[in-house]
Amino acid sequence: FELIENEKAGSEVVAMGFEKSLVERVCKLVNNAEFKRFQAPPILRISPKAFGPGRQIPLVAKYPY
């Protein structure tokens, strides 16, 4: 929840008391599933955090995941 909805970095979530291995696994799963979102047809977004083309992470930016 914190990683996606509140856009917190992995290190911030670990500092909140979550296990580092769990946070790393969740970050990896979210990032690895990014390509799957490109295979879906375009959809209407009804919330600011809807998964879809709006979830793209820029390739040239460096994020602390």
pLDDT at 64: 64
Kindly list the domain boundaries of the chain, sorted by start residue: 10-55
How far apart (Å, rounded) are the C-alpha atoms in residues 23 and 43? 29
Residue of 2, 6, 3 lying closest to 48 (CA atoms): 6
pLDDT of 21:
93
Asked whether residue 61 carries a pLDDT value surpassing 60, the answer given is no
pLDDT tens digits, 2-57: 777 777 888 888 899 989 999 899 888 888 877 777 776 766 666 666 555 555 55
Q: Are 23 and 13 in contact (CB under 8 A)?
A: yes
**Between the CA of residue 55 and those of 5, 21, 38, 43, 52, what are the distances in Å?**
11, 24, 10, 13, 6
